[in-house]
Amino acid sequence: MNYKNIKTSINKQLLEIYINRPDKMNAINPETSMELKHIFEQFKSNDNLKVAILSGSGEKAFSAGNDLKHIRSDSDPKVPFGGITSDYICYKPIIAAINGFALGGGLEIALSCDILIASDKSTFGFPEPKVGLFAGAGGAAKLAKIIPQKLALSLLLTGKLINSTEAKNIGLISEIIPAKDILNRAREIANEILKCSPLAISATKQIIYNEYPTDYNPDDIEKKYSEVIKLRDSNHFNIGKKAFANKEDPAWD
């Protein structure tokens, strides 16, 4: 498959993947999700690949999340947002090297990885409510299982942004690295993992994610919760999207 929106490289047993839309802050459209799904399925099935690093091209963003300028079409590929936020089980380690903004869906993609490290210039948050959305690609379902519930609610209900120091203090990321060294540190961690038994690594990951599950089915979310149904049936996203484009405060009905 020829990729338009991501870049990849392989160094022996290590796969590196870069969301490659730097002019759009590495925002995710359906085509990008499809490409990420494809490469991560290749990673899962290739016995020679043992560890993956996911990052964003450029210095400004890991990913700013959902591409709000994308016009939805029936021809859009039907895959999980970001390729791995749901319906993806892989017991090989994935490291998120976060450089710059990891917002909304971008942060949800990072939460689907196993080890999160970030540059000292990174910013995190779930601004979806400001445009009439909720963190439906795993943020609302996963975050409170990863950090304390009240801290998760504070982030999810306000849409506020936090820096790397705050993210580390609440347990969202494990390390803060100077921006120029973020990828080298990710590779160091990958090489530390590669010195271990791959069977021991996969067994460990399987135990963790089955004893402390963070997976969810987005279709169940859409059907199960009355407030989600109300939101989906409303025009709040259109109101929020228009206000965002015009740099105005939305007037919710």
CB-hemisphere CA count at 13 Å for 68? 21
Q: Which domain holds residue 111?
A: 6-199
CA distance 54 to 48: 18
- Within-domain flag for 175: yes
- Within-domain flag for 70: yes
- Within-domain flag for 73: yes
- Residue type, position 130, single letter: K
What tens digit of pLDDT does each residue of 210-247 get? 988 777 677 777 778 788 888 888 899 888 778 877 88
- Within-domain flag for 237: no
- Within-domain flag for 204: no
What tens digit of pLDDT does each residue of 107-162 get? 999 999 999 999 999 999 999 999 899 898 888 889 999 999 999 999 999 999 99
Instruction: Write down the H helix ranges in 112-169.
Output: 139-146, 149-158, 164-169
CA distance 165 to 121: 10
CATH number at residue 155: 3.90.226.10
What total number of domains does the chain contain? Answer: 1
pTM tops 0.75, yes or no: yes
Residue 35 CA, distance from chain mean position? 14
- Within-domain flag for 246: no
Q: What secondary structure does DSSP assign to 220-238, as a single string?
A: HHHHH-HHHHHHHHSSHHH
CA distance 248 to 234: 20
Catalytic (active-site) positions: 108, 128
- Within-domain flag for 231: no
Helix, strand counts (H, E) of the chain = 10, 10
- Within-domain flag for 223: no
* CB 193 within 8 Å of CB 201: yes
